[in-house]
Amino acid sequence: MQPLTQATALIAALIALAHAAERGRPRVGPGPVRAHALGPSAAPASSALASACPEGTLPDQGVCIPVPQGVAGGAELTAAENAHRDRSGAWRFYEQIPRRPERPGDYRRYRWPVPPLPGQNLVVSGYDLDRPDVQQRRGAHIKAVGHGGLDLGQRRGAEVRLVNLEHQTADAEVLFVGEVFGNSVVTRHSVREGDRLREYVIVYGHLEGAAPGLSRGMNVREGALLGFVGDSGSPGDVHLHLEVRRVRDGVNVASLAPGELTKNARTVACDPRNVMPLAAE
């Protein structure tokens, strides 16, 4: 074989190998990203899922975008242990992320997925998993003890819209639409804490219903319609249950069943005031 012919054949073989390798991994840069298989309820292949992107990148409009290195994020949040007695009197031990002392205590200092009603308390029930046992939420008609989120008072049918977390990187992703706390929507957010990325999930519970067409795997931006305030799962008590939880290291939250999303072994309850953005003065 002539030298020119040999060189041409070698180059063609190398190109073929490169194309084969390229087909086996998600693309970084222009072009669609292949969705990670999630079983029977997997999102369509056109959906951009965080699990489909390699480490150091995040999904954004169907492509894997490299995350800038050396960019400072928010403070690294530290979980603390606490415990309370459940309704049977047994002690329940768990971790939770209390409000950082420099963050305002007043809930009205923050932006929420629903606006406050004039002349009405914004928070019907606040975050209290950091309090002593006797100060945590209890009641004759409340099945659970303690509260790992907020109950935001609003009228039935009020729109629930996405609010990006502080130091969030890229768009949020719809992780689940269905039953968690009544009709619920769960979103996943990547947040930079210090020099690393952490995953958070937000549960929007007791909805009258999810937004039309909203489905798992969708990327959603600030202001996107998620659903409508209702009382599903809490008849007669119209409000939005908002719960922020940080995903534990090593947990693939996309693979969790709905009932596992709020389990302490999988995710850690976080005082929402740590990560929700401050309202404009």
List pLDDT tens digits, range 77-98.
999 999 999 988 999 999 999 9
Lookup: tokens for 124: 């019907």
Side-chain-facing half-sphere of 72: CA atoms under 13 Å: 2
pTM score, two decimals?
0.75
Pair 264, 278: CB distance under 8 Å: no
Residue 177's CATH number: 2.70.70.10
Q: With 80 as the cut, is the pLDDT of residue 219 above it?
A: yes
Please give the mean pLDDT across all residues of the chain.
81
Of 28, 43, 66, which residue constitutes the final position of a domain?
Answer: 66
Phi, psi (deg, nearest 5) at residue 159: -75, 135
186 and 222 co-located in one domain: yes
- Is residue 168 a part of any domain in this protein? yes
- Is residue 154 a part of any domain in this protein? yes
Q: How confident is the model at residue 59 (pLDDT cuts 50, 70, 90)?
A: low
3-state secondary structure at position 7: helix
114 and 222 co-located in one domain: yes
123 and 235 co-located in one domain: yes
- Is residue 186 a part of any domain in this protein? yes
Q: How many C-beta neighbours within 10 Å does residue 81 have?
A: 8
Q: What is the mean pLDDT of residues 200-224?
A: 97
102 and 155 co-located in one domain: yes
- Is residue 72 a part of any domain in this protein? no
Pair 160, 151: CB distance under 8 Å: no
The closest of 139, 154, 245 to 202, measured between CA atoms, is 245
Q: Which residue has the higher pLDDT, 25 or 205?
A: 205
* Structural domain harbouring 256: 80-274
CA-angle at 153, arms to 115 and 248, nearest 5°: 85
60 and 139 co-located in one domain: no
89 and 20 co-located in one domain: no
List pLDDT tens digits, range 22-52.
444 433 333 333 333 333 333 333 333 345 5
End-to-end CA distance of the chain: 77
Distance CA 231, CA 30 (A): 43
Determine what percent of the chain is predicted with pLDDT higher than 70.
74
54 and 103 co-located in one domain: no
93 and 18 co-located in one domain: no
pLDDT (0 to 100) of residue 120: 75
12 and 88 co-located in one domain: no
Q: With 70 as the cut, is the pLDDT of residue 260 above it?
A: yes
29 and 92 co-located in one domain: no
- Is residue 181 a part of any domain in this protein? yes
What are the residues facing 66 on neighbouring strands?
Answer: 57
124 and 167 co-located in one domain: yes
Considering its fold, how many domains does the chain have in total? 2
